[in-house]
Structure 1
């Protein structure tokens, strides 16, 4: 199966390309605007040119669709964010070329709106799947795996805190900064209310790791999970930085945006990323994620569960890559029947996801609270 990874030499795209290139029968095209970087990435990867080749592709080019068609991929995996600033031209071009499409988008509107391409995807008998990443891909799989324990599911509250000693990219930094201090709608206690990005601080204790501070973030879960589970009264997502100086510094910045002293923080992305790189040897290499569910069991008793994932030894960045890897493998084996355009919900089970992480220093835990 020929798979084109757009942004394939980047932070997440590189992991996806390496993982799929190790599979028999995969032909990986590492694509992006910088052909020299793509070539260097391939040379430095153990499998090298046996399973991978480079291609220059610029999604902003007028010739993008024509160049994509010439490469003839069966699947396009789009990792070149930030998706808060993207439209659907890559997905539309992929479908027009007869390719499946999968992205790692974390933009709320982008993922929630991808079903606008459903008619095109069905007409070409292909899939266009948005948000094949930690959110909503993994969170939705966790919720669905535990939903059968509830007669009524009232709340889903998720948090992610990556370890500081893991690589970070400019696109991810810009994505986070896009909503810092900005208002957005969230479902809270049965009402849609305006909340603000990187505010409402919360301290969460992870067994075997310790305490991390989290703050509100705007992600696709806030839109797609209430649609999927109409009984929800609260849907919350928070993220946090391992180093408190970075976490609380960003929190202070959110107040400048909220007070309209600055219009936003995206313009600071390169400088803040450079500062964070100076501190990359500090903190921990352990990332954490939790999904908390609250509701009522079938005896009418209140039920609260918390599923936790810990990623040690710097393996945390493999988690957001795994949904796309898993979907590519399922498509290659003919295990993803049907077609259409949708957010990454109900495309795989939690057990499948965790099996794809075998060999990484990742552990999970489920507790009743």
Structure 2
């Protein structure tokens, strides 16, 4: 029988990229959802549209009951509860998401035991960052006898082609200090502070990055318990976007970014501005994963990097590859796991190579 995939939030930039990837690499029929009732016409007969608001619990339950896999792309995840995953667990349906906020990550991880009991595999934080970035860290960590420090940096060109939802997520991520593991101690860190200049592959080169609240900050120490420091930093090009974001985080009144209206205003303004620079600077992404640890009794550093010309397409690779493996029965690990816990390096490298995504690795 033909398998069915339900993509929640499938009309957005990320959701659309995920749908395209799954359509290319599997034979599944795909139902993608959005909140509008407009009739969608699709040339690809394997794609169908369903108008659905996640608040319509019974309609959501019915949609999930008719599927083999749910892919949750309906962010921002700052506002989401665990209803979707709970229904998947109840109905024995596997689950993937592109969640990118620590509060949501913590809530869904708490459902691990229930997923194990029902035999449901749920893989969270897939996409590009978090997602592919986490598996790059795993690549690096596995080179060491004792990994000790992780430094994970991201830079995005203009909007990254990911739409206004990602803008909302950025400003929501500036709202509160967060905990990070630094030299074996959990410390409070203020978002968009601690600027560093990091060397990325061309065309990015040396770019400024800042502390940013990502789930990796606490999921990577859980996955790799010998690690004493995990640093997650994010930046944009052109660099003036970094300065504007720094002002929003450190100068603007807190009320601007601590209520939905303020966040929406900043997101819409930013989306308009990046719409201009997208054509000039592109919409790509670069990731640098650097791990320090003990190898053969000596301290060493291992680094992996990648560049892709379209951030949302790269996110589709990350999530779509997990969906492909679940549908093929090649990834079967009941419970709720972050991608770095669920996906072996061998499978990760196979999926990225099949999509032509080149990851450079080297000892420094």
TM-score by length of 2: 0.90
Distance in 2 (alpha carbons) for counterparts of 1:165 and 1:31: 23
Q: CA deviation at 1:195?
A: 1.0
Aligned 8 A contact 1:112 1:343 in 2: no
Residue 271 (str. 1) matches residue 269 (str. 2): yes
Residues 176-195 of structure 1 mapped to structure 2, 5 A cutoff: 176-180=170-174, 182-195=176-189
Residue pair 2:303, 2:362 contacting (<8 A) in 1 also: yes
Counterpart contact for 1:35–1:54, Cα < 8 Å: no
Distance 2:267 2:150 in 1: 30
Deviations 1:108-152 (A, max 9, x none): 122233222123322322112211223443233223323343222
Give the corresponding residue for 2:139. Answer: 145
> 1:304 is matched with which residue?
301
What pairs with 1:79-118 in structure 2 (closer than 5 Å)?
A: 79-118=73-112
Query: 2:159, 2:271 within 8 Å by CA — same for their partners in 1?
Result: no
TM-score where L is the length of structure 1: 0.89
Structure 2 residue aligned with 1:52, among 24, 37, 47?
Answer: 47
- Secondary structure of 2:358's counterpart equals strand
Matches within 5 A, 1:2-81: 2-36=4-38, 39-40=40-41, 42-43=42-43, 48-49=44-45, 51-69=46-64, 72-81=66-75
CA–CA separation in structure 2 for the residues paired with 1:34 and 1:93: 23
**Matched ranges for 1:217-296 at <5 A:** 217-257=212-252, 260=254, 262-264=256-258, 266-267=263-264, 268-296=266-294
Structure 1 residue aligned with 2:113: 119
In 1, the alpha carbon distance for the partners of 2:255 and 2:59 equals 40
1:198–1:250: 8 Å Cα contact kept in structure 2?
A: yes
Q: Which residue of 2 aligns with 1:216?
A: 211
- Give the distance between the partners of 2:188 and 2:152, measured in 1 at CA: 18
Larger RCO of the pair (alpha carbons < 8 Å, separation 6+):
2
**Paired residue secondary structure (2:38):** helix
Distance 1:254 1:20 in 2: 37
Conserved 8 A contact 1:112-1:223: no
CA contact (8 A) 1:315 1:361 kept: no
Distance 1:82 1:56, change over 3 A: same
Cα displacement (A) at 1:166:
4.0
- Cα deviation, residue 256, structure 1: 1.9
The answer on whether the counterparts of 2:193 and 2:211 sit within 8 Å (CA) in structure 1 is yes
1:13 deviation in Å? 0.8
CA contact (8 A) 1:165 1:283 kept: no
Paired residues, number: 357
| RMSD (Å) for aligned C-alpha atoms | 2.3
**For 1:92 and 1:156, how far apart are their aligned partners in 2?**
33
